[in-house]
């Protein structure tokens, strides 16, 4: 009984603040933020997509899959791979034509400078 009498009591405001903080932390653990994005290796991307590693390299070579190349290594954004899967589409003819036009216009502007 003495323990209860000597223990400081929490005010209602402090108690509510503590409960809110705990609930927020638990919700953050249960529902991770969409902002967090994990970089995957080729092997991890292959596992996520359920494809063979050589197939992943083929998709990268044909620019059919979103990837990041740093220091001679390939990485894949888990979020972008999931978006790519959900789209279920590759670059259409319009997007390819737009990319070609952009590339050619850049080449022309570089030739004019030289």
Confidence grade of residue 46 (pLDDT, cut at 50, 70, 90): very high
Long-range contacts of 95-100 (CB under 8 A, 24+ apart): none
For residue 14, is pLDDT > 70? yes
On whether the CB atoms of residues 37 and 77 are closer than 8 A, the answer is: yes
| pLDDT for 52 | 94
| pLDDT for 89 | 59
| pLDDT for 90 | 58
Structural domain spans, the chain: 39-109
């Amino acid at each position: 009984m003495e323990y209860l009498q000597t223990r400081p009591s929490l005010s209602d405001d402090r108690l509510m603040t503590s409960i809110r903080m705990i609930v927020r932390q638990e919700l953050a653990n249960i529902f991770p933020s969409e902002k967090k994005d994990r970089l995957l290796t080729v092997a991890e991307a292959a596992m996520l997509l359920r494809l063979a590693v050589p197939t992943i390299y083929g998709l990268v070579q044909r620019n059919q899959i979103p990837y990041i190349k740093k220091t001679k290594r390939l990485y894949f954004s888990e979020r972008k791979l999931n978006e790519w899967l959900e789209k279920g589409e590759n670059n259409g003819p319009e997007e390819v034509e737009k990319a070609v036009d952009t590339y050619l216009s850049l080449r022309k502007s570089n030739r004019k400078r030289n």
